Structure formats: C-alpha cells, structure tokens
C-alpha cells in the first residue's frame, strides 16, 4: 500500500504596499502571453525606484490579477489621479537590457512583421542571470558621437565572394576594416559558421574586444556577453540571427554573411528574417550594411537592380567543362579521363544532389514507382536492404510490384551512398570520404583522394581541390521553386570557389545551359535576371509581398471568402491573389495572399488586424508569416 505523504501548510507571504507619491510614470510593454495585448501600459514608479528605473529596464508589474514581466519603453510624468494607476512591483536587474534605439527597433519590427514587440524581445534579450550582473561595469555612451553618424551618407553593398580563397577570410578582412570606423555586427547563418569565423579572427591582431552571441553559449555566458556588449564601446559582435537585437554602442556597420541562407529566417511568430530587418535597424541607427554571398538572392538582386545596393565583385575566369548525360549515366565517358588527370594532381570533390542511397524505387520490368500502402514513396538504404516508406517508415520485406508483380528493383533518384558505390568502382583503390548530414566533415584527411559531399556539407581542403565535379546537374535544377533554384546556383558557385587556381570545374550538364558560362566568367547576373524576369511575370517576390496563413481546415474556406470580400471592398489592392491548399495529414490549410510590392504595408496591417480580431473573439489560432522563405512550403 502506498504511503500517504504528510500534509504541508502553505506559507503566507506579505507583499509590501509600495509608496508611489511622485507623478513619474513608466510606459511599458507587458509579457502577457497574449499577442493582441501589445499596447503600452502605464504604471506608477515607487519612490525607492525613481532613480533606478530607466528606458530598457526589466520590471515585474501587476497585470490582470497576476505578476508579469515588462520592459520600459518610455518615462514621463502623469497628471492623472495616482489612484487610477497600478504600481510597479519590482525592478528585475540592475542594468537596462535595451536602449532607446533598440526600443524603436522592436517597435518598427513588430509593425513590419505584423507581430507584437514582446515576441521579438524574447528572441533578442537573453534570460536574466542575477549573479552575472555583479561582474559588469556600467558604461556611459557619448551621445554626440551618435549624432555625427546620423548626418553621414550610408553605404549599402553586396560583396560576391571570390574563388580560390576562403569566404571566411574575406569576411574577416571586411569586418576588421570596418572596425576602424566604429563597432561592427557580423551575422552568420549558424553556430558552425560563427566558430569558423572566430578561428579566422584569432589569426589576426584584433585591437578591440570580440563578443560571441549564439546558442552555443550557456545561459550565464549568453547573458554576460549581452550585458558586456551593452556596456562596451568599439566592439565586434559575432552571432546568428538573434544577435541582430544586440544593443551595440557606436554601431557603424552590419555585415550579413551568406545572406541567402534559410537560417536567417525565424521559424516562430512573427517569422521575421535578417535580410529585410537590417534595413529597419540601419534607418534607426544610421549604420552601413554589407551583404555577402556567391549569388544574390532574388530580393537582393532586386535591390541591386534598383541601385539601392551596390554590387561588388572581382573578375575571375575559371576553366569550366560541360559533359551532358546521354542515357542517364552518372559519369559520361569523356569526363572520366579528366577526373583521372585531376586525381594525379590532388583531391577531387564530387558534389551530389541528395543524401541517402535511392530516394525512389522503380520496378525494373515496368518502371512504375513503388509506393507504400499510405501513398508514400519507397526508399532504399542499400541495394540489398528492404525498401522503407518515406512517410510512415514501414519496411516492405517481400516487395513485389503492384502493377506487374515483378520483383527486380531499379534504384532511381540516386543519393550519395549510391554515388559512393559507382564512383568507387570507376576509380578503385583510392581513399574516399563522404560528407553529408548528419556526418559533416570539417576538413579533408591528407590521404583522401576523393570527397563526395552534398550542398552545405563540403569540407575544407587545405590546398584546394584539384577538380570540382558537379554530378547530375539537371537533377539539381529540377524544381518549380525559384527559391530552390537560387540555392542550387549558390551551391554550384560555392563548390566551384574551392578549386585550385589551375583546377577544373566539371559539370554533368548540357553545355548550352547559362550556368556553364556564368561559372566560367564568375558572374551570376544572367542566372539572377532569369529568375527576376520569371517572378515578375508571375507576380512573385520580390515584385510581390506575400502572407502565408496556416489555419484549421474547417475555417479555411470561410476565411478565404472573407479575404476575397476584403479585396472587393478595397481593404487590399484589387490585383491581390489568394491561393488555398490543404494538408490533411496536419489537419491544416494554407492561405497565400500575394499583393504588389508597394502594398506590403497594407498587407501587414490587414493580417495584423485579422489576427487581433480572431484572438479577441476567441476564434481558432492562425499562424501568419509575411514574406516566408518558401511560398506554400
């Protein structure tokens, strides 16, 4: 029989009724947990906190019969009767966690992304660790220095990385060069990029402090780094997308490395992205903006075309050879001799379009695609392994074609493991290394002669690769999404940049494709202009702004009809387009609203008002993402 625990009496606590006789009040944003309650709320400041509460201070305030965290947006005096206002309960932390510029930035971000300020504050300001605050020295910023920067002409540039040199070295040189003018914020896609960047900076003699701000830090380290940044001058801050909210004194430049990366898109409400958001911060703090990459995104190409951003790139010529597939073979006959020649001079990199062994199984007799009972495609992890469903992971131990009852298998949509088998047979007795998620190599072993990697997983070769072989080029490009096409071009140029100065780029693709001449001349303008032209014709970004709404299937049709009525009534432009798709497995529908680019503010206001009205009327929650990375993705 289970023993009964003894009863424990609850301890009653006495809350001191704090005196607040002064007319001084604080206007705050409250972390209420409800996005539609995002307005300013006014509280009296207790007598004992009059000198401590500042703009950016974190507070504990009474809100709707409970205590909530809040942040001070503005201080003023009130003529209103003191009895009508509640009193601040306590001050959370000795130091303000945001300055006036960052408060303005949070406000502009909330409007631009149709969200609420506190959802952004949670992304930008780390959790408090009281013990850390005792180690920080306060810093008083010279306001005259900021005023002198406000009158200068700003520089917005896109730097295309060069071949034969590390992109991280170029980023380090750019950051160190800008440090002569003031503090620099360098944003990178992920933690590994930040670590690589720090390794490059250690080779240079840095005269100013370097701070890291990303998820690799512990809770205490992150808060300490954040406070040190806020209380320092002339610093270099490295971090991932959330570092955009770091309160940096004397900020001269923001550098966005590899601007096309999907990692720069926030995956939770309000779904902001770095590329568009840095322009908002630049307008507030008068900072220069520098973007880098190999191929500009469509949005960045549009900015370059409109001459708002300057394109900076060096002229280079690379030896690029095309080898079209005749019958679907992995390595066309003529490419083999070139690869053998390159193997005698160093390590060869093979770029594969996908990981796995076979991402589709066909019947060798009738060539029909093998499907699971649930409708998902069957995959193979090896030629002898049992097929497994890509959706429900069910193994089919005795596979037989449902059409002709054949049992012979044909591996289609080959992956990196299948390439390993075929390349190993073509070039026997050579050391081969694979690099793909989750086993991504950092560097190539000295004895390795062949590296097979997927995009984004290419390891560093100390002396560069003697040749770069891009396999199944047409499969890379086989997608209806312009965003995917942009990433393919980026991965091709990224891999080509790793070749030695006298090395070759060998592409399994038709020689007439404009990609071949673009890599040869190290100029992606033809490729980018093609994407811009197609997107313009289809009213897609960057010529349109989009809002992606995820709603329950039961509400989708009614909501779509309401949006169409809003267009008819003139609340959205008449040229707006609305698309509806369903995802029954997730029991959700997706509504995509497209409006011309110049009507983006109208779209943001519309979806923000829609979200608030549904929340107030206690209707089902809808997720709203403005300008998402992938439309209907």
Among candidates 390, 633, 361, 342, which has minimal Cα distance to 504?
A: 342
d(C-alpha 169, C-alpha 203), whole Å:
10
d(C-alpha 576, C-alpha 582), whole Å:
20
**Lookup: tokens for 92:** 């959370």
CATH among 3.50.40.10, 3.30.70.600, 3.40.50.720, 3.40.50.1580 for 544-626: 3.30.70.600
Q: Is 87 left (phi over 0), alpha (psi -120 to 50) or beta?
A: beta
Question: In the predicted model, is pLDDT for residue 624 greater than 60?
Answer: yes
d(C-alpha 130, C-alpha 224), whole Å:
10
Q: Lowest mean pLDDT: which of 80-84, 206-210, 318-322, 625-629?
A: 80-84
d(C-alpha 360, C-alpha 185), whole Å:
44
Greatest mean pLDDT among 8-12, 15-19, 360-364: 360-364
Among candidates 316, 323, 318, which has minimal Cα distance to 506?
A: 323
d(C-alpha 513, C-alpha 467), whole Å:
20
Work out the mean pLDDT of the chain and round it to a whole number. 90
Mean pLDDT of 502-516: 95
Mean pLDDT of 496-514: 95
Contacts 24+ apart (CB under 8 A), 220-225: 220/129, 220/131, 220/132, 222/126, 223/126, 223/127, 223/128, 223/129, 223/132, 224/129, 224/132, 224/135, 224/136
**Lookup: tokens for 109:** 């971000």
Structural element, H or E, at residue 372? none
**Lookup: tokens for 196:** 């690589």
The β-bridge relationship of strands 544-552 and 623-626 is: antiparallel
d(C-alpha 421, C-alpha 417), whole Å:
7
Report helix angle 514-521 to 482-496, nearest 10.
40
8 A C-beta contact, residue 59 and residue 92 = yes
First to last CA, the chain: 55
Cβ-proximal residues to 56 (8 Å cutoff; 6+ apart), any chain: 71, 72, 96, 97, 98, 99, 100, 102, 103, 247
**Lookup: tokens for 152:** 């200068």
Full strand arrangement of the beta sheet holding 183-187: 210-213, 236-239, 183-187, 251-256, 288-293, 156-160, 310-312
Among candidates 379, 404, 402, which has minimal Cα distance to 390?
A: 379
Mean pLDDT of 154-176: 96
Q: How far lies 548's CA from each of 560, 576, 592, 605, in Å?
A: 12, 13, 5, 14
Q: Tell me the torsion sign for CA atoms 606, 608, 613, 615.
A: positive
Q: Lowest mean pLDDT: which of 27-31, 130-134, 391-395?
A: 391-395
Mean pLDDT of 318-344: 92
pLDDT of 302 reads 97
d(C-alpha 229, C-alpha 223), whole Å:
10
- If you count DSSP H runs as helices and E runs as strands, how many of each does the chain have, helices first? 17, 26
Show the DSSP H helices in 84-166 as ranges. 100-112, 117-124, 130-133, 143-150
Domains 24-99 and 133-312 share a fold: no
pLDDT of 633 reads 57
Mean pLDDT of 212-238: 95
| 133-312 is classed CATH 3.90.1150.10 | no
* Boundaries of every domain in the chain: 24-99, 133-312, 319-356+415-536, 544-626
Express as a percent the part of the chain with pLDDT over 90.
70
- Neighbour-count burial of 137, counting CB atoms closer than 10 A to its CB (0-12 exposed, 13-18 middle, 19+ buried): exposed
Express as a percent the part of the chain with pLDDT over 70.
92
CATH of domain 319-356+415-536: 3.40.50.300
Q: Lowest mean pLDDT: which of 11-25, 132-146, 433-447, 576-590?
A: 132-146
pLDDT of 18 reads 75
pLDDT of 143 reads 44
d(C-alpha 162, C-alpha 170), whole Å:
8
Q: At the top level of CATH, which class does the domain 24-99 belong to?
A: alpha beta
**Lookup: tokens for 363:** 């019947």
pLDDT of 151 reads 58
8 A C-beta contact, residue 168 and residue 442 = no
8 A C-beta contact, residue 366 and residue 401 = yes
8 A C-beta contact, residue 104 and residue 225 = no
Mean pLDDT of 336-355: 94
Q: What is the pLDDT of residues 275-314, one digit of tens each?
A: 999 999 999 999 999 999 999 999 999 999 999 999 999 9
Question: In the predicted model, is pLDDT for residue 91 greater than 60?
Answer: yes
DSSP letter string, 497-546: TTEEEEEEEEE-S-TTSHHHHHHHHT--HHHHHHHHHHHHHTT-TTSEEE
pLDDT of 270 reads 92
d(C-alpha 262, C-alpha 279), whole Å:
18
8 A C-beta contact, residue 548 and residue 592 = yes
Q: What is the pLDDT of residues 99-112, one digit of tens each?
A: 999 999 999 999 99
8 A C-beta contact, residue 302 and residue 542 = yes
Question: In the predicted model, is pLDDT for residue 350 greater than 80?
Answer: yes
pTM of the model: 0.90
Among candidates 357, 507, 350, 331, which has minimal Cα distance to 444?
A: 350
d(C-alpha 491, C-alpha 161), whole Å:
13
Q: What is the pLDDT of residues 77-89, one digit of tens each?
A: 887 766 788 999 9
Residue whose entry in the numeric block shows the structure tokens 């809002």: 547
Question: In the predicted model, is pLDDT for residue 144 greater than 60?
Answer: no
Q: Lowest mean pLDDT: which of 296-305, 377-386, 576-585?
A: 377-386
pLDDT of 321 reads 96
Confidence grade of residue 475 (pLDDT, cut at 50, 70, 90):
confident
d(C-alpha 618, C-alpha 597), whole Å:
32
Cα R_g (the chain), whole angstroms: 29
Question: In the predicted model, is pLDDT for residue 411 greater than 90?
Answer: no
Mean pLDDT of 232-261: 96
d(C-alpha 569, C-alpha 558), whole Å:
16
Residue whose entry in the numeric block shows the structure tokens 């149709």: 114
Q: How far lies 118's CA from each of 64, 71, 246, 380, in Å?
A: 17, 9, 15, 46
- Beta carbons within 10 angstroms of residue 376's beta carbon: 15
């Amino acid at each position: 029989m289970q023993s009964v625990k003894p009863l424990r009496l609850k301890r009653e606590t006495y809350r001191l009724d704090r005196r607040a006789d002064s007319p001084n009040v604080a206007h705050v944003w409250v972390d209420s947990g409800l996005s539609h309650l995002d307005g300013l709320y006014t509280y009296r400041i207790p007598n004992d906190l009059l000198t401590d509460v500042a703009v950016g201070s974190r507070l504990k305030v009474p809100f709707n019969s409970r205590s909530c965290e809040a942040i001070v947006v503005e201080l003023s005096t009130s003529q209103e009767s003191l009895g009508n206002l509640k009193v601040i309960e306590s001050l959370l932390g000795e130091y303000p966690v945001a300055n006036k510029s960052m408060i303005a930035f949070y406000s502009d971000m909330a409007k631009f992304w149709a969200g609420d300020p506190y959802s952004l504050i949670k992304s930008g300001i780390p959790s408090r660790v009281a013990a850390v605050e005792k180690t920080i020295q306060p810093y008083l910023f010279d306001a005259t220095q900021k005023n002198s920067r406000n009158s200068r002409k700003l520089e917005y540039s896109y730097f295309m990385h060069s071949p034969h040199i590390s992109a991280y070295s170029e980023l380090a040189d750019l950051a160190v060069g800008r440090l002569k003018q003031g503090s620099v914020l360098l944003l990178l896609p992920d933690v590994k990029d930040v670590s690589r960047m720090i390794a490059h900076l250690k080779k240079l003699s840095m005269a100013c402090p370097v701070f890291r701000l990303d998820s690799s830090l512990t809770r205490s380290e992150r808060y300490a780094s954040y406070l040190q940044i806020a209380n320092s001058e002339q610093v270099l801050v490295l971090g991932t997308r959330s570092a955009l909210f770091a309160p940096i004194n004397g900020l001269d430049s923001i550098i966005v490395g590899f601007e096309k990366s999907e990692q720069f898109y926030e995956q939770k409400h309000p779904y902001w992205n770095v590329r568009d958001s840095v322009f908002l911060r630049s307008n507030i703090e008068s900072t220069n903006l520098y973007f880098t990459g190999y191929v500009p995104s469509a949005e960045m190409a549009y900015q370059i075309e409109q001459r708002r951003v300057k394109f900076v790139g060096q002229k280079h010529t690379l030896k690029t050879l095309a080898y079209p597939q005749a019958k679907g073979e992995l390595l066309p006959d003529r490419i083999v001799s070139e690869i053998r020649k390159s193997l005698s001079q160093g390590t060869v990199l093979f770029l594969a379009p996908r990981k796995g062994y076979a991402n589709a199984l066909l019947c060798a007799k009738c060539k029909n695609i093998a499907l699971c009972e649930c409708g998902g495609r069957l995959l193979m992890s090896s030629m002898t392994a049992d097929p497994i469903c890509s959706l429900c992971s069910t193994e089919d131990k005795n596979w037989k074609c449902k059409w002709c009852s054949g049992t012979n298998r044909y591996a289609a949509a080959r992956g990196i493991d299948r390439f390993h088998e075929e390349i190993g047979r073509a070039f026997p007795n050579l050391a081969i290394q694979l690099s793909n998620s989750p086993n991504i190599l950092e560097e190539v072993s000295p004895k390795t002669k062949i590296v097979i990697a997927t995009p984004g997983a290419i390891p560093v070769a100390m002396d560069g690769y003697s040749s770069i072989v891009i396999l199944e080029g047409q499969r890379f490009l086989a997608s209806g999404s312009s965003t995917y096409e942009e990433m393919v071009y980026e991965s091709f140029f990224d891999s080509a940049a790793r070749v030695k100065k006298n090395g070759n780029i060998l592409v399994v693709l038709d020689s007439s494709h404009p990609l071949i001449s673009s890599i040869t001349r190290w100029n992606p303008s033809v490729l980018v202009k093609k994407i811009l032209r197609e997107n313009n014709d289809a009213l897609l970004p960057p010529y349109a702004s989009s809002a992606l709404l995820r709603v329950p299937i039961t509400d989708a049709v009614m909501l779509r009809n309401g949006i169409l009525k809003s267009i008819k009534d003139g609340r959205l432009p008449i040229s707006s387009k609305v698309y509806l798709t369903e995802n029954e497995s997730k029991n959700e529908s997706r509504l995509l609203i497209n409006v011309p680019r110049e009507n983006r503010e109208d779209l943001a206001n519309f979806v923000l008002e829609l979200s608030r009205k549904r929340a107030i009327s206690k209707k089902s929650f809808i997720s709203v993402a403005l300008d998402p990375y992938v439309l209907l993705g």
